[in-house]
Amino acid sequence: MIVYAVGIGPGDTEHMTPQAKQVIADCDVVVGYTMYLNLIPELLHGKEVVGTGMRSELSRCETALAKARSGKKVAVISSGDAGIYGMAALLLELADNDSQIEIEVVPGITAAIAAASLIGAPLSNDFAVISLSDLLTPWATIEKRLEAAGLGDFVVCLYNPKSRARKDYLNWACDLLLKYKPPQTWCGHVRNALRANHEYEILMLRDLPEAEIDMLTTVIIGNADTRRIGRRLVTSRGYRIDGKEAGEDG
């Protein structure tokens, strides 16, 4: 039996891969966080749909495996990519001792890519992806990674930058990064990237703590090679344009 861990991308079918769409079409049961299921109503007609709340990932995946054991074809959906802060890892761990069940991961467009495509090309060179949620990862580990990302002059993409319960985490992250990056470092934040009504703002690192950011927002913090071009951000890869090094601010 196969359980599919499917990344649906940002949510609209425009950015969902044909494989993801086909796998969902072929399944009897679709399991997921209710908010994500609500993004794809047109794919759920005639399906058994199991929606669960936030933070119920464990029971969600156990339900999916139980449905598969009862002979049903099951897809567990994640927004973005199923392997990046998605359900693929937990499904693989839970299925570890069950030789009957195989997990297939169906990739999708993750929020970093969706957000970057709107902002311009901020991820065109080396970058780090860090979640600011400390539900599963200790804050000390997150701090260590922020410091390391600053030290390495990585462009940094932050997932889960803020929630009602974690109002100050983004500020703390900015404080840490400001030890390594100048306050004028270009940043962008994108809400509902590539969903209907997405919106983004380009701003400097010093202004990021005051920005309107919530848990549907992805934040991208540039590096020394990131500059603003009009309403977009570009991290120069270093091609020589007109005989001068690209990426200089001027």
Q: Which of residues 103-162 bind a copy of itself (CB under 8 A)?
A: 103, 105-110, 113-114, 116-118, 120-131, 136-137, 141-142, 144-145, 147-149, 151-154
Report 51-80 residues binding a copy of itself (CB under 8 A): 57-58
Applying the rule CB under 8 A, the residues between 26 and 45 that interact with a copy of itself are none
Contact with a copy of itself (CB under 8 A): which of 30, 43, 94, 177?
94
Give the chain as a DSSP string.
-EEEEEE-BTSSGGGS-HHHHHHHHH-SEEEEEHHHHTT-GGG-TTSEEEEE-TT-HHHHHHHHHHHHHTT--EEEEESB-TTSSSSHHHHHHHTTT-TT-EEEEE----HHHHHHHHHEETTSS-EEEEE--TTTS-HHHHHHHHHHHHHTT-EEEEES---GGGTTHHHHHHHHHTTTS-TT-EEEEEESTTSTT-EEEEEEGGGGGGS---TTEEEEE--TTEEEETTEEEE----EETTEETT---
Binders of a copy of itself among 5-24, rule CB under 8 A? Answer: 5, 7, 9, 13-19
Using the rule CB under 8 A, is 98 a contact of a copy of itself?
A: no
Q: How far is the CB of 72 from a copy of itself (least distance, A)?
A: 22
Q: Please report how close the Cβ of residue 206 comes to a copy of itself at its closest, in angstroms.
A: 23
| Shortest reach from residue 203's CB to a copy of itself, in Å | 18
Please say which residue, 48 or 96, places its beta carbon nearer to a copy of itself: 96
Interface of this chain with a copy of itself, residues 206 to 235, rule: CB under 8 A:
229-230, 232, 234-235
